[in-house]
Amino acid sequence: MSIEQLEIIAQQMVAPGKGIIAIDESNNTIKKRFDGVGVPNTEENRRAYREMLLTTPGLSDHISGAILYDETIRQSTKAGVPFTKLMLDAGILPGIKVDKGPFPLAGYPGELVTEGLDGLRDRLAEYARLGAKFAKWRAVITIADDAPSGTCIEANCHALARYAALCQEAGIVPMVEPEVLMDGAHDIDVCYEVTEATLRSLFSSLYEHNVLLEGTILKASMVIAGKDSPDQADTDEVAEATVRCLRASVPASLPGIVFLSGGQSDEAATAHLNAMNQIGPHPWPLSFSYGRAMQQAALKLWAQDMAKNFADAQKTVAQRARENGLAALGQWKKGA
């Protein structure tokens, strides 16, 4: 794939009023979600659930792409249509999670570094053959009394840059995700400092590895107080702090930024995105790449009766996509 094609795909991912749905939960993670609603964690149930999501009528009106898991990118609909073909025919870009998850960072108790670089070049080549147009790698940054260390930030950003360079070599747009976790009792100011330091390190590493920013998407966490903090910021404070942090650390040449929901409620994730876009204009589009905030309500409904509630669950997915699509334009109104 040419450089120009990488840029075109990246721009398609953040087209006006559109965002990404993340359905890349590992089998262990989706087991927890299924256990919570009483659904057995079988391969067929995982396939059927993802089919329900991906065949939602009108999904492409507000969804530009979907991040898949290794199992999912190889699966097909009940009628035998590969998910990747179904998506491309509907105008939805197939994406793929390629990291192997976070592991303890040796020498730094409580801190994590994401692994998965070994064999990544070959895996990316296979995913490209299967139809993947973009990929995702998630790094995890924890805030605690003595964390994060500079070493943890640097190690994760170095891995993100190496992953991104390998993606572009394979003709795949890299989505780089340095998630600053909401876990903890820190206030919004501490989150701001850690997020800014992380993003500055990330873009320095991307530059050092000759990654084409015009063919890269940032998946960012919002600047928000820890969930155990007694001092919770309101919607406007979160929006202002997040935008200020991004403007201080993200190059304008980036095609766009999508946010993760990171444990926020469905409504809070939408409201924060909407408020950020009402502050604009910005150097880059601000959109969404939500997992739980897109799926949670639909999963509960689908789980009650997979056949009977199939269409109603899809209506819930479509509604969440529409709400977040409007928020990506700064046009969402609560209850509308």
Give the tens place of pLDDT for each residue, 60-101.
999 999 999 999 999 999 999 999 999 999 999 999 999 999
Mean pLDDT calculated for residue range 313-322: 98
Give the CA angle between residues 101, 104, 105 to the nearest 5°.
Answer: 110
Q: Decide the pairing of beta strands 134-141 and 286-290.
A: unpaired
Q: Which residues of 81-96 are buried (b: 16+ CB within 10 A; e: fewer)?
A: ebbbebbeeeebbbbb
In this prediction, residue 335 carries a pLDDT of 73
Q: In this structure, are residues 187 and 232 in contact, taking their beta carbons and an 8 Å threshold?
A: no
The pLDDT confidence band at residue 192, using thresholds 50, 70 and 90, is: very high
Query: What average pLDDT does the chain have?
Result: 97
User: Which H/E stretch holds residue 96?
Assistant: strand 93-97
Between 335 and 43, residue with greater pLDDT = 43
User: At 19, is the secondary structure helix, strand, or coil?
Assistant: strand
User: Which H/E stretch holds residue 175?
Assistant: strand 173-180
- Which residues face 97 on adjacent strands? 136
How many residues are present in the chain? 336
User: Which H/E stretch holds residue 22?
Assistant: strand 19-22
Which long-range contacts (C-beta less than 8 Å, at least 24 apart) are formed by 235-239?
235/268, 235/271, 235/272, 235/275, 236/275, 237/188, 238/188, 238/272, 238/275, 239/272, 239/275, 239/276, 239/278, 239/279
Q: In this structure, are residues 173 and 13 in contact, taking their beta carbons and an 8 Å threshold?
A: yes
Q: Does the domain at residues 3-327 carry the CATH identifier 3.40.50.1370?
A: no
Backbone angle region of 141, left / alpha / beta, with phi > 0 → left and psi within -120 to 50 → alpha: beta
User: At 51, is the secondary structure helix, strand, or coil?
Assistant: helix
- Comparing CA positions, the residue from 61, 58, 63 lying closest to residue 23 is 63
- Whether 97 is a known active-site residue: answer no
Catalytic residue among 18, 97, 133, 219: 219
Asked if the model's pLDDT at residue 44 lies above 80, the reply is: yes
Report CA dihedral (17, 72, 103, 10) to the nearest 10 degrees: -30
CA atoms of 216 and 58, how far apart (whole Å): 27
Asked if the model's pLDDT at residue 39 lies above 90, the reply is: yes
Mean pLDDT calculated for residue range 12-26: 97
Between 3 and 212, residue with greater pLDDT = 212
Between 105 and 262, residue with greater pLDDT = 105
Mean pLDDT calculated for residue range 184-212: 98
CA atoms of 50 and 69, how far apart (whole Å): 10
User: Which H/E stretch holds residue 289?
Assistant: strand 286-290
Asked if the model's pLDDT at residue 1 lies above 70, the reply is: no
In this prediction, residue 221 carries a pLDDT of 98
The pLDDT confidence band at residue 334, using thresholds 50, 70 and 90, is: confident
Catalytic residue among 177, 179, 196, 323: 177
CA atoms of 192 and 175, how far apart (whole Å): 21
Q: 107-148, pLDDT tens digit by residue? A: 999 999 999 999 999 999 999 999 999 999 999 999 999 999
The reported pTM is: 0.96
In this prediction, residue 177 carries a pLDDT of 98
Mean pLDDT calculated for residue range 312-322: 98
CA atoms of 25 and 13, how far apart (whole Å): 20
In this prediction, residue 3 carries a pLDDT of 80
Mean pLDDT calculated for residue range 260-285: 95
In this prediction, residue 336 carries a pLDDT of 63
φ/ψ of 235, rounded to 5, equals -55, -45
CA atoms of 124 and 83, how far apart (whole Å): 18
C-alpha to C-alpha distances, 229 to 60, 102, 233, 238, nearest whole angstrom:
38, 25, 10, 14
CA atoms of 172 and 228, how far apart (whole Å): 38
- Whether 219 is a known active-site residue: answer yes
Q: 200-255, pLDDT tens digit by residue? A: 999 999 999 999 999 999 999 999 999 999 999 999 999 999 999 999 999 999 99
